[in-house]
Structure 1
Amino acid sequence: MTSSRRGRRPAAILASALTALALAGCGLWEPVDTSQIEKATVDPDSRVIRFAHQYDPAHPVESCGAATLRTELADDGFTVETYPSGQIGGEGETTEQIATGGLELGVVGPSFLGVWYPDAAVLDAPFLFTDVDQFDEATNGPIMAEVYDEMAAETGLRVNSTWYYGTRHITSNVEITEPDDLAGLKIRTPDAPLYITSFAIMHGSATPMALSEAYLGLQQGAIDAQENPIPTIDVQKFYEVQDYLNLTGHMVQAVNIVSSEKFVDSLTADEKAGFEDAMEKARVATRDCIVEAEQETLQTWEDDGTITINDDVDVAAFQSLIAEEFPSKVPWGDLYLEIQESVR
C-alpha cells in the first residue's frame, strides 16, 4: 500500500473533519431530535439500532438493504429503526451523529467519508471500475480493507459494509455522445468537490445541489442535466423533466455503511458475528436488487419510450481524459491506480 496514509496524524484528521463540518453548518455535538419522526413499534427487550440514509423508502437501499438488516438482526435481539429520505439531515450530519453517538448506523457516500479520512473518497472516483464484478472484487478486497482499518484507527469511524449503489449516467435535454457535448451544460451533482474535479476534466460544469432539489432545478432550468444511477433516476422521476438518458457509466458507485468503533466494540462476540452476517446478506441483497432494477427499468424505458436511451456514447473518450489528468488532481492518485490495477 502507499505510505501516504500511514503518515497522517489522528488529531489533524479529526480537526480537519470537524472544521469542514462546522463550515457546512452542522450542529456539532448536538443530539439528533427524532421525537417527531414516526417510528415502528419497538420490542422493549431489544436493542435499537438507529440507521439513517438519504434515499426514498422505495429505493433499494431501504427496501432491500435496510429491510434485510431488519429481518436478519431481529433474531439477534436487535430492532433496526430506519430514518430514510434525509430525516436526520445530510450525509455530513449523519456522519457527525455517528461519530458522536447520536446514531448507530448511517449510509455515507465515499466523498463525504473522505472529509474524515481522505483516502476513503477513492470509491467516488470516475472510471475506477468498469462493471459490478470489479466493484465487488475491490470493495471486498485487501486494499480497501486496509484503508478502512486505518480510517477506523485514526477517526473512530468504521465501515461495516460497502454496498453497490448503481452505475451513474447523465440525463439531459440534448444528446451527450462525447466530452465536447458537456461544454456549457450545468450538471447537478452531489455537493462534494470530487465531482467538480471529475466533470471539469470531462469538459462539464458541475453544479452541486441537494438531490431533493434536483427535480425542481431541472424543471425550472436552473440546471441542464444531472447524473445518477438508473434506480435513483427512476425513483426521483427525472425522466419527466429530461429527454435523454446518456449511458456514460462514468462511475460504478459505492455507499458505505458506517458505524463508530465504539458501537462495534460494544457488541458481544455472538452479537458481532450476527451483525457481520446480517451486513453481508444486506450487501448482497442490495446489489442484486439494484442490478435487477437497472436492467428492468432500462428495458421498460426502451419499450415504452419513457426517455430516449442514448447508448452511442464514446465512453472511451471520457475514460481517456480521466486517465490522463485525474490521478494527478487528487491526493490519493496512487491508490486510485493501485485499485484499478488490482481488478484488471
Structure 2
Amino acid sequence: MLKSNKRELLKAIGATAVVASLPAAPAWAQAPIVLKMAHVYNPGNIWFETAEAYAKAVETRSGGRVKIQIAASGSTGDWPASIEGLKIGTNDIVLQSIGTLDRYNPLPGLEAYPYLIRDLDHFKKVYFGPVGAEFIEEVAKKSSFRIVGAGYRGARWLTSNKPVRTVNDIKGLKLRVPPLKMYRMTWDLLGASPVPMGAAELFTSLQQGVVDGQENPLEFIDNFKFNEVQKFAIDTRHIIGAMTWIYSDARFKRLPADVQTLLKEEGDKVMLEASDKMAKLESSLRDKLSKSGMQFSDIDRESIRSRLGGIAKEFPDLAPWAAKFAAVK
C-alpha cells in the first residue's frame, strides 16, 4: 500500500514538473483584452483603412483574444479631446500625427520640423532605425505617451485663394495652422499671419474668408474637399509628417509583455504598409485635384528654407535631435 501511494505521488510530481516546463501561454489566452481606439478619419480615407487593418491584424494574430474597438470620424471628439481621453482611460489608442503631442512636451514637435525628413526612404530609415527607437523612448519619457509605428503622411502643401508665386507672397497671408507651436512658428518666420484652428471648422472658415489658406498633405486636402474652397496649391513640401498609434505610456506598460510586443510589431507592420500606399496615392491625388479645378504651381523651396533658420533658435532643445534625424543616411 505504501509503495502504491509512493508511486502515485511520484507520478503527480512528475506531471507537475512537465507542466511547469511547458512555455507559458500568451497573456491574451488568459482573458480577453479589448482596447478602444479613436480617430477623426472617414470611410474611404487611407487612415480610416489603416485603423481597420491594425484592428484586424491584432485580432487575427491573437486568435480573437485581443480586440480593438474603433470610434471613427471623430465620433467621440476631435483629436485633442481623444488624446486627453488616453490620460483618463476613455481611450486606449489614438491614431494621429506624432506632432500633436507637442502640447505635452516640445520633443514630439520634431515631427513638424520644416525640411527635416527628405523623402520616403529617409522617413523609413529614421523612424524604423536606431534613431527612431531612441526618439520613441524619449518621447515616452518626456510626454508620458507611447507612440507605436510611423506612417508616411506625404508632404504638406500650401493652399490659398490668392496666388503665391514667391516666398514674398506669403507675407500677411491669413493661414490656418494646427494649434501646435512648431507650425505657428514656421509660418511666423515666413511672414504669414498664422491662425491656430481645429480641422473641424476649417472648411467653413475658408469658405467664409476667415482665413486665406491652409497647409496639409494632399490626402487631407482631398479628404476634406478643400479644393471646393481653395483655388491654388503651392508646392512648398515644407514638412513630411508621420502618423502613429498613440498610447498612454503607463497604461501600455501595464499590459502583459507579449501583448505589448503584439501591438508594437503589428503596429509597425501596418504603418509601413500604409506608408507605401500613401506614396503611390500622392501622385494620383495631384491629378485628381487638378482635374477638379485646383491650380498647382511651383515655388523656390530653397528660398523658403533659407528663412526658417530661426526655428533652431526657437527650439534649442530640438536642435540635437534635428541633427540626429538629418544625419541618417
Q: Normalised by the shorter chain, which TM-score bucket?
A: 0.7 to 0.9
Match of 2:69 among 67, 71, 81: 81
Residue 102 (structure 1) shift: 2.0
User: 1:270-289 to 2 correspondence within 5 Å?
Assistant: 270-289=258-277
1:124 aligns with 2:109: no
Cα–Cα, structure 1 residues 331 and 343, in superposed 2: closer, same or farther, change >3 Å? same
Q: Which has the larger radius of gyration?
A: 2
Match of 1:327 among 312, 322, 326: 312
Are the counterparts in 2 of residues 99 and 156 from structure 1 also a CA contact under 8 Å? no
Are the counterparts in 2 of residues 68 and 278 from structure 1 also a CA contact under 8 Å? no
1:174 aligns with 2:159: no
Which residue of the partner structure matches residue 306 of structure 1?
293
1:70 aligns with 2:55: yes
Deviates more, 1:54-63 or 1:221-230: 54-63
> Aligned letter for 1:321?
R
For 1:67-114, what per-residue CA distance to the aligned partner results, in whole angstroms no more than 9, with x for missing partners? 211211112122221122322323332222212322111124333312
Cα–Cα, structure 1 residues 153 and 184, in superposed 2: closer, same or farther, change >3 Å? closer
Equivalent residues, number: 296
Residue 335 (structure 1) shift: 2.8
Compare the two structures and name the one with the higher helix fraction. Answer: 2
Which residue of the partner structure matches residue 202 of structure 2?
214
1:338 aligns with 2:287: no
Q: Which runs of 5+ in 2 are unaligned?
A: 1-30
Residue 336 (structure 1) shift: 4.6
* Aligned-residue RMSD, C-alpha: 2.0
1:235 aligns with 2:223: yes
Q: Which runs of 5+ in 1 are unaligned?
A: 1-44
Residue 305 (structure 1) shift: 5.1
Cα–Cα, structure 1 residues 316 and 95, in superposed 2: closer, same or farther, change >3 Å? same
Cα–Cα, structure 1 residues 308 and 224, in superposed 2: closer, same or farther, change >3 Å? same
Q: TM-score, normalised by structure 2?
A: 0.83
Cα–Cα, structure 1 residues 171 and 154, in superposed 2: closer, same or farther, change >3 Å? closer
SS of equivalent to 2:324: helix
For 1:45-79, what per-residue CA distance to the aligned partner results, in whole angstroms no more than 9, with x for missing partners? 8422111122233321111x112112111121222
> Aligned letter for 2:90?
G
Could you tell me how far apart the structure 1 residues matched to 2:148 and 2:93 are?
A: 9
SS of equivalent to 1:114: helix
SS of equivalent to 1:129: coil
Are the counterparts in 1 of residues 110 and 322 from structure 2 also a CA contact under 8 Å? no
Cα–Cα, structure 1 residues 277 and 340, in superposed 2: closer, same or farther, change >3 Å? closer
Residue 155 (structure 1) shift: 4.6
Percentage of identical aligned residues: 25
Which residue of the partner structure matches residue 18 of structure 2?
none
SS of equivalent to 1:281: helix
Could you tell me how far apart the structure 1 residues matched to 2:206 and 2:283 are?
A: 25
Which residue of the partner structure matches residue 53 of structure 1?
39
Could you tell me how far apart the structure 1 residues matched to 2:143 and 2:232 are?
A: 42
Q: TM-score, normalised by structure 1?
A: 0.80
